[in-house]
Chains A and B, each alone.
Chain A
Amino acid sequence: MKQLVILSGKGGTGKTSIAAAFAHLLSLDGVPLRAVFADADVDASNLELVLAPRVITREAFRGGLFANIDQDICTGCGLCQEVCRFDAIGDISMPQFQRLADRRYAELGMLKTQLLDKPVVDPIACDGCAACVYQCPEGAISMQDQIVGEWYRSESRYGPLFHAALRPAQENSGKLVTLVKQQARLLAMDGDYDLVLVDGPPGIGCPVIAAASGADLALVVAEPTAAGVHDLQRALETTNHFHIQTLVCINKVDIYPAGTAEIESFCQEQGIQDFGNIPFDLAVTEAMVQGQPVTLYAPSSPSSQALRELWDKLEAFLQNEGVR
């Protein structure tokens, strides 16, 4: 079983549209590749909008620990505020905590005046480090977890799909990505699948590291813009840092020829295979509106043809040339 992850430094380069097309194409082969799909962009999980999944199991994802001060025990000594390095503890004379007091503490049925000399926690700013818990001389602080998202195992039109929805404003997206991917891998191993196809998040930080870790091959989708080379470079440095073999494809290749040339020469310099280009094609958006992979919606469109070529090459690469 091989694990392929689709990445990009910049967002909106077409990762999900490409992943959806691959999902469709690999189902068409004479001997179809059996694949499990994982949407690792849990902040903006869009693969489900194209793969039409039927949810089979749905599970809560808990996390996002934050400190909770028991106002009855708290003496207002202020030590917690002193040790917090995330500016997450304050008192309601400070503007950002005033709003918080209005909203959250109303839920607890407390009057603002009761809170005047007591510290309050901003759960959104709280990093969950629990330093205050261990320093509070009264033992008035405990950590509280919350449901920060859900993850799903679904049956999509092309095979099993693991995906998730992180609630807005939550952290731990790296952990949720890891969970989604682990579940996909487990099923792939148990069911003797050929491939785990991971649709990754943009950027280079924690969710990307979680999405890319353990991949046999990464496909980085670049865009020929003034920013494109810069973002591509950072994505490549990241896969390189984690020793993941990487290929590059350029999407919307014809919007700025000078940008394309720059990316091509950059890839050459780096000894990275530029694996194929996809032209700018409104059929991609039309397909998305119809909730279909472009290769299904408009098989003879220029983008579909390019995607087919790209997939054939990738498939051969995964199977024949062998991935390190």
Chain B
Amino acid sequence: MLIAIASGKGGTGKTAVATALAQTLARTGLSVSCLDCDVEAPNAHIFLRPNFLESKPVEMLIPQIDATLCSGCGECARVCQFHAIVVLGGQTLVFPELCHGCGSCTLVCPDGAINEMSRRMGILKGGLSPEGINFGHGLLNVGEPMAVPVITQLKKWRDYKDAEVVILDSPPGASCPVVESIRGANFVILVTEPTPFGLHDLCQAFELTRELDIPAAVIINHDGIGNSDVEGYCREVGLPVLLRIPLERKIGEGLAQGKTLLEIHPEYEVTFRTLYTQIAEKIAQLAVIEGVQ
């Protein structure tokens, strides 16, 4: 079962929820993987403290022009949708940061002048946490614009998929890196806060889950600040609110120190076990409905 944690707005507590859920499930004896898909600013490892044993570079195949074979016809530049190749005065130039690694140029080159070489754009790291969580995260290299390939490769790496439950901690926002993170998930938990910013971005994130056809529910974090508009919205669109986590100085301080919710409030273990049961039930119900159809 793949459960993704997303939010729209940043700083609403995605990682706090993802790590608490992973920890709870590992303690019940389930095999759990947790993947931090926020490859621009990964933080989950701070809470789960995995022993990183393995790493793997994230590479993309980019064209390399053999000038002795290239006739300067410009076919490669013509098919490149990303303006990563330019032919100037008969010379073919490649801009690696713009290349998406699609291989189209190599396929069309009539001179066989393009070889592909790998370019490093980030790194994956993986290992077990003290609780036995199979953890992994990706780090996008600084200056590198594309986060998606790092997320794609992270999700395919090692034996993460074999776990009984896979927790995917998504980056903020509602565009392509989030799509890549939650793609294939059976369920998405949307973590929000009861403020106008939280609501605005929750709407975006919820629409995204609808676009991808993934069932979703909400956790309201920092409950007690703001207003009741998020609750109203959830009622209106039929989004279940599974949990409310209060705005509490003790929680804020604990998280700042790198403690998980379970370490701050041990009773949250029961809360998150209930949360998981609710999600598992919803997924099972949907599977039955689909089976009937």
Interface residues of A, Cβ cutoff 8 Å to B: 8-13, 16, 42-46, 49, 65, 83, 85-86, 96, 99, 103, 124-125, 127-131, 134-135, 143, 166-171, 173-174, 201-209, 223-228, 230-231, 234, 237-238, 241-242, 255-256, 258-259, 280, 282, 285, 288-289, 291
B12 near A43 with CB under 8 A, answer no
Note all chain B residues with C-beta closer than 8 A to A8. 10
A212 to chain B, nearest CB (A): 11
A44 near B201 with CB under 8 A, answer yes
Q: Complex Cα distance A173/B175, Å? A: 7
Q: Complex Cα distance A174/B143, Å? A: 13
Q: Complex Cα distance A96/B104, Å? A: 25
Note all chain A residues with C-beta closer than 8 A to B40. 9, 202-205, 208, 234
Note all chain A residues with C-beta closer than 8 A to B178. 43
Given A12-B10, A168-B204, A206-B147, A85–B172 Cβ distance below 8 Å?
no
B256 near A259 with CB under 8 A, answer yes
A99 near B213 with CB under 8 A, answer yes
Given A49-B200, A209-B143, A10–B11 Cβ distance below 8 Å?
yes
Among the stretches B95-103, B236-244, B275-283, the one at the interface with A is: B95-103
Q: Is B212 an interface residue (CB 8 A)?
A: yes
B142 near A204 with CB under 8 A, answer yes
Chain B: residues with Cβ within 8 Å of the partner, total of: 60
A231 near B211 with CB under 8 A, answer no
Instruction: Find B256's partner among A85, A167, A174, A256 (CB 8 Å cutoff).
Output: A256
Given A204-B40, A238-B143, A285-B195, A130–B79 Cβ distance below 8 Å?
yes
Q: Can you spell out 5 A-B residue pairs with CB atoms less than 8 angstroms apart?
A: A10-B41, A12-B11, A46-B196, A99-B213, A255-B252
B41 near A204 with CB under 8 A, answer yes
Closest A residue to B106 by beta carbon equals A131
Note all chain B residues with C-beta closer than 8 A to A241. 142-143
A111 to chain B, nearest CB (A): 16
Q: Complex Cα distance A168/B212, Å? A: 10
Q: Complex Cα distance A147/B2, Å? A: 31
Beyond contacts A143-B81, A227-B15: 18 other A-B pairs, Cβ-Cβ < 8 A, are A8-B10, A44-B10, A44-B197, A83-B104, A131-B103, A134-B104, A173-B175, A202-B41, A203-B38, A204-B140, A207-B175, A225-B258, A228-B256, A230-B46, A231-B41, A238-B143, A242-B143, A258-B257
B142 near A46 with CB under 8 A, answer no
Note all chain A residues with C-beta closer than 8 A to B41. 9-11, 202-204, 227, 230-231, 234
Given A44-B172, A205-B144, A256-B256, A12–B211 Cβ distance below 8 Å?
no
B225 near A282 with CB under 8 A, answer yes
Instruction: Find B207's partner among A129, A168, A288 (CB 8 Å cutoff).
Output: A168
A131 near B104 with CB under 8 A, answer yes
Given A127-B102, A205-B146, A230-B46, A169–B175 Cβ distance below 8 Å?
yes
